[in-house]
Amino acid sequence: MAQALKVPIHKNRQTTMARINGYISTGSLFRNLGITNQIYGERAAFTSLEVFSITGPHGSWQNYSFADVIGAEFQPARTGQDFGPTWTTHWFRVRITIPESMRGKEVHLRWASGCEAMVYDGTGKVLQGISPGFREEYVLTKNFQGTQPPPILYVEMACNHMFGAGGDLICMYNKTCTTPPDPNRYWRLDAAEIAVFNRDKYDLLNDLEMLYGISNKLGDGSHIGMQAMCAANEMINLIRLGQESQAPAVAAAFFADTTGSKAHQIYSMGHCHIDTAWLWPYDETIRKCARSFSAQLRLLEEYPDFTFVCSSAQQYAWVKQWYPSLFEEMKTAIEGGRFIPVGGTWIENDGYVPSGESFIRQFFYGQQFFRREFNVTCKEFWLPDTFGYSAQIPQMIKHCGIDRFLTQKLSWNQVNKFPNHSFMWEGIDGTQVLTHFPPGDGYGMQNTADDFVNTQNNSLDKGRTNVAIMLFGNGDGGGGPTRTMIERLKRVQDTDGLPKVQFSSSNGFFDKLEEDKDKLYKWVGELYLELHNGTYTTQAKIKAYNRKCEFMLREVELLMSIAYASGKVTELQKIADMATVDTNWQNVLLNQFHDVLPGSCIEFAAQDAWKIYADVYTSLTALRNTYNTRILATGSARALFNPLPWEVRSVVFMRPDTLAPPTGANIQTVTLDATAFEDQTQGRYRVPNTFSAALVTLRPNGFTLFAAQAPSTAVTYQANSPGTGFGTYRNGTISLEVATTGRPYEKLFLNGKAVYNDYLGKNVQPAMFYIYDDIPIYWDAWDIADYHLESRREPDWANSSAMTQISTGPIVGCYKWTANFGNGSSIVRYTIMRAESPMIEYYTIIDWKEDRKLLKVEFPMDILAREATYEVQYGFVSRPTHINTSWDMAKYEVCGHKWMDVSQADKGVTIITDCKYGFHARDNVVQVSLLKSPKNPDANCDMHKHFIYYAVLPHEGTFQEAEVVRRAYELNLLGSNNVPLLATNLTGATLPASWVTTNNNAVVVEAVKVCEEITRTIVIRLYESKGGSADTTVNLGFAITQVRECNGLEDPGDVVPRTGNTFQTSFRPFQVRSFLVTF
């Protein structure tokens, strides 16, 4: 070392460490000697303090401009006063005069209220956020020389702490659970003053804290750890002997002793994870962004080496909208390269439930914003806190120009430890992306000695790579890095005994890791989080809305493309309507945030999401009606629209909003209930209470004149013998025998062969409901614990009605069964058979009132399958139906999209749903999770009526041969919908159809949309759906002039040869490809 440490003869580690700790603590017998209490010296009260309060529901602050605030009537306020209740806002007008006695000193404004706040100048410019517990000061001047700060400042106080306003509930393992917010909580203003900040004392404190942390972490078995202790003790001796000015040199000498060239290298960057909504609603996140970002700008000004990374274009967009001057400051910092946008997405989305197209649009809108505003294109996908990651993510992000991925969430695994921190992640199509999990197992590190050493020691890739990321800063509720965190890092960037640490960026780290990628292990398939598997089910209404809004956007974009390429809209109309679609897409993407769509948010956030979805429906319905009229005009003829790229022959249900319902031959009127269902208007993806049913053949991707057709085999019903109850429905393909045993008991047959078979004696009645305990260890809304499987039981049925015959054919057969159970919950189930359909369908309406119960519907299959197959984005994955290994056992609840399947060599059974995502398949029994009932953080989660549609599709051969993918699309877009009946004056020949089709059933046209940047161009996105290679011809229903391949961001690529209005392309298994088609 540069300076020898003066080690006393008498030295006891326990007492010495206790002494050092006393000097850096606020309590204990050292409280009058400790440095912490000396950081702030002389204090002075504000010249005056006044308050203006905004009452009302959350978000009321948005109704007041800054001009409204400063023009309001303020009342006197004082420290010690309580403010509230929860979610209210209180504006303080602060007048400050710095006394002459503070000349030559650093002076801070101090504000401590226990809740979040933000400081403004008198013009409304945001100065800095205040975060309770770790940032309760604002620097007025570094060196007061008599020039007073602005005479008036404003402090906006929000009555919520960093994590909302919930109380504390201690669960198992002393974990603090998330509870609903207390609506009547108040916060006390404990400090509102100016004070002298003693930076020398502050630097001493940071020196001692870091030395103590190093010694404590490395322990008495380490020479360097003991040297750190001795250095800290020597500093205290100097302080006590009146030689405090010499103490910093002791610390500096210790920190200056460098480490070796082979030391682990940490790439550290400030980080502020702000949940876009969670224990607070969206409107509070807007202010959290301003508080956090303004605070980081002040730190960037103070520390020229400090770098700060932040994701989520939506959060930047909010700042631009609500705080334009702050946004301009951010732009300047981004241009300087130290305020760094990362991730490329609109928000940090859920990793399982969103559709493939939603994933693509996250990047499309996110990168579009970053490019437009900052000339930045992000190179990494950034999802540190999402609850598992689909096996299709590598391809989806690569399709959007990204080949790097960061998360840390799998460190939360409950059963198995993930084997790597740096690795190549391979998706279901073979795409690989470079992936890193920060070895510190967090995204909110504090830059303590523990954090640095743990990041080094935890690495599971020693010998393969010597680099790691450390993300430091307060997160979830925002706030980000603090001055103290940066000071800690500055001291130990190259210190013996510790890894090397440098301020860096995501690109800086991944560029370095890229050099080692050939040495890294490969992980194939999904990154399944062995926790939080209840998020596939919780807040069922949000998930249902999400699925249906995704499909509605798909349909509207196709209609716009047809109209645009047909010359039915002008460029100005197109631009205006695309802006509407963009807004709706962004709103749907917003609700896919990883605490909203998964359902782990408070009630206010869920209600906000519902309203956003309702607005999306209203907006898109109006746009769809406009485009139907533009394309079809109006008239006495009737047409149907098929949004799917293949011909569909199916029975559809129609209840027109304004036109007369169709009648006549081959049309059957069906009444399920005398009372209209909620939100059953046409095109809302909900079967109405009464409808006209007709078998129709619909041309692909376009319109067909309505013509009801006679089925090849009608639906029939044969009653059982008198006294035995009910009977059998048949349609020539399947038959359903229904008996009464107090409840309906069903036997399903495909071509005379049984579909159901409880051959393992698990006492599972086909298609019946079962109740499970929903009491996880501590993450109430998030988790389904493995032991829930041991609590299976039948609901305590009450008032179980007799089954009611609804219809007996020839187009539709249906019966109704109702029952009450539990805490007043009720089920109404309609079992439906359509003519010519291989499926038996269930329309289930549940009024849910349970407390910590989980409801499932179950099916015992006559199948021997060691794996089950589940649809994911643009493909499918297989998962075990056994528990041979701990990895198998941990996947007792998994996510699937529209369908899942269990098959053996000669046959199989598929379950298709219109809004469910949680499944359990063990041996031959499939369970679909319908509803959970957690009480934290939303005490009323899912306590309302739910409309759920699902079907059982037995098949011969493989599910690929049975065209399961197509059947699932058809049920979701047509079968579970009130299909719109449209007026037109066009003839069949002039109705646009077959707009984009392929000649290979394996290739699905997933999106057809107007191109954002290139005029007279349509974007087409296709994928291979069956898991094999595929060659196809893409046929266009309009005259084209050029085809170019593009990525998910619509960046043009190579020209593709075409023949007339067709072009050929090929696909690897599950490959996604996008094309720009110019006309």
Residues annotated as catalytic (active site), given as ranges? 385
Q: Confirm if 955 and 977 have CB atoms less than 8 A apart.
A: no
Cis geometry, peptide bond prior to residue 1057 (ω within 30 degrees of 0): no
Residue 800, both tokens = 């179980």
Percent helix / strand / coil, the chain, rounded to 5: 25, 30, 40
- Selection from 1018, 979, 988, 1064 nearest residue 558 by Cα: 1018
Q: Confirm if 710 and 697 have CB atoms less than 8 A apart.
A: no
Q: Exposed, middle or buried: residue 424 (CB in 10 Å: 0-12, 13-18, 19+)? A: middle
Cis geometry, peptide bond prior to residue 810 (ω within 30 degrees of 0): yes
Label the pairing between strands 265-271 and 500-503: parallel
- Selection from 991, 1024, 1018, 980 nearest residue 1006 by Cα: 1024
- Selection from 644, 703, 639, 649 nearest residue 997 by Cα: 644
Q: Confirm if 990 and 635 have CB atoms less than 8 A apart.
A: no
User: What's the CA gap between 369 and 1015, in Å, rounded?
Assistant: 20
Cis geometry, peptide bond prior to residue 85 (ω within 30 degrees of 0): yes
Q: Confirm if 272 and 292 have CB atoms less than 8 A apart.
A: yes
Residue 906, both tokens = 């000669």
H or E stretch covering 230:
helix 223-240
CB atoms within 10 A of CB 699: 22
Count of positions (residues) in the chain: 1079
- Selection from 743, 270, 645, 682 nearest residue 486 by Cα: 270
| Helical H segments across 804-868, by residue range | none
Rounded to the nearest 5°, which phi and psi values hold at 342? -135, 165
Residue 655, both tokens = 């209840």
Give long-range contacts, CB 8 A cutoff, 24+ apart: 656-664: 656/682, 656/980, 656/981, 657/681, 657/682, 659/981, 659/983, 661/691, 661/692, 661/981, 662/638, 662/692, 662/694, 662/706, 662/708, 662/981, 663/692, 664/708
| Helical H segments across 303-445, by residue range | 313-322, 324-335, 356-374, 393-399
Residue 964, both tokens = 């399961």
Sign for the CA dihedral angle at 337, 341, 342, 345 comes to negative
Sign for the CA dihedral angle at 963, 968, 971, 972 comes to negative
Output Rg (C-alpha) for the chain, integer angstroms.
32
